[in-house]
Amino acid sequence: MLYGIFIITLSYFISMQVIDRMMPVRRRKNNSPLPNHSRKDNKFLKRLFWYHLFLSFVYYIYAVFNPSDSSNYYRKIIEYYRGPEWSDFYGTSTTFIEWFGFPFVHGLGFTYEAMMALFSFLGFLGFIYFYKFFRERIIFENKLFGFDLFHLFFLLPNLHFWSGSFGKGSFIFLGIGLLFYGLNNIPKRYWILIIGALLTYHIRPHILLVILASSLIGFTFSTKGVGWGLKLIMILIAAFSLAFIYQDVFRMVGVNEETFLEEGLNMSHRARELSSATSGLDITSMSLPEQVFTFLFRPLFFDAPGMLGIIVSFENVFLLLVTLTFLFRGGLFFILKGDFAVKTSFFSFITVSIALAQISGNLGIAIRQKSQVMILFLFVIIQLYDDQKKSEFRARMRAAKRKAVLNPLDSGYLQELD
């Protein structure tokens, strides 16, 4: 326990330094009508550290009294002490978590609590990079039912609960956060993009496959002024990457490559395996829309598996409401005309959701897995709100210029939005 407290203390000071570097407090530009969020962002992220830590502690208490992957990982690492060499366990998915944790447990003597604290810190780094990705594109304060959507999305407990423990959730959240932060400025952040891709590959190769394909679609159909030569290079890079990881993808979803080529993709056997638990659902008889809805928005109180399911139901109701609001505000048309980031985020989200919905017959697994990609859809939602605010702002600025209200020094306000 004392070792865990030491790791928490160390991660606190590191996190504060990272926040100050990523989200520095900036002075407001003279006479700029655009909001300056820097001080609020810095303060919010520093408070978010304690919120994330609290929900990580809640998961720790949950794991003490219930079977959990985190305790299984630690137990297996302990058993490796007299077994094969450390390098023999290198691989993707579960084996990568065990391989990564081995030197901390056997080299540095980390206790179970210390490993939980370490992975909670890794998950929080994911929130910092996602927050920075959001803030670079979201300018205005966007409210729903009187609440600031930007901050509200980052307070959803399911995101913190599953990314704050010793396991794949923390790593995949950090990996995807690095990926999209890097995609927002590829020339200057290509090394962050590579690190994010490597992390995502080692945890969920199939998710990296989807993000690569989605990035290709987003780049090809959204980027203006880019010649087909560069687009062809992007296609070749994506094709090479897909060829490199496709075998791991098949292995992860439990599909034989030869069977796939002969019969196509049939994951009903995985659905039956995962629906055998007490919180399982027989999804094999559902239509695809029902499967996707179940994955994204259930449980909804009436089918909640225990106290955890009831708590998650509140969040699912909120997600259902914001999704309906998004659709009513022209969300589908927005996706079609959206830029690279919007298309990549949405296609990554919807493709992973459709794939996982077909095998996540266990509600507990669905709750955990959807937290890995739900934040991408939340970005698309808030981007819609912000783009509509930008359009209104530009209209007001143009009207003001026509009335000669703005002085010549203010002519750069419209360009500041682009």
pLDDT in tens, 327-337: 999 999 999 88
pLDDT score of 125 more than 90? yes
% of the chain surpassing 90 pLDDT: 31
Cα angle value 366/371/372 (rounded, 5°): 105
pLDDT in the model for residue 265 = 46
- This prediction has a pTM of 0.85
Rounded CA gap, 266 and 99, in Å?
31
DSSP output for 153-207: HTT-HHHHHHTSSSSHHHHHHHHHHHHHHHHTTHHHHHHHHHHHHHHHHHH-HHH
The mean per-residue pLDDT over the stretch 106-133 comes to 93
pLDDT score of 268 more than 70? no
pLDDT score of 202 more than 80? yes
49 vs 62, more confident = 49
pLDDT score of 76 more than 70? yes
- Which tokens in the block code for residue 41? 């962002």
pLDDT digits (tens, 9 = 90+) for 288-339: 788 888 888 877 877 666 677 788 888 889 999 999 999 999 999 999 888 8
pLDDT in the model for residue 391 = 86
pLDDT digits (tens, 9 = 90+) for 223-264: 655 556 666 766 676 666 656 555 555 554 454 444 434 444
pLDDT digits (tens, 9 = 90+) for 385-402: 999 888 888 888 787 777
CA dihedral of residues 166, 169, 171, 173 (deg, nearest 10): -140
Q: Give helix then strand counts, H and E, for the chain.
A: 20, 2
Non-local (6+) Cβ contacts of 174 within 8 A are 122, 123, 125, 126, 129, 163, 196, 199
Rounded CA gap, 124 and 116, in Å?
12
- Which tokens in the block code for residue 400? 């003001």
What is the average pLDDT value for the chain, to the nearest integer?
Answer: 80
Q: Which regions of 259-344 does DSSP assign to beta strands (E)?
A: none
CA dihedral of residues 72, 116, 309, 349 (deg, nearest 10): -100
Least confident of 25-39, 143-157, 258-272: 258-272
pLDDT in the model for residue 362 = 61
Cα angle value 33/39/14 (rounded, 5°): 145
pLDDT digits (tens, 9 = 90+) for 364-387: 677 777 887 899 999 999 999 999
pLDDT in the model for residue 116 = 93
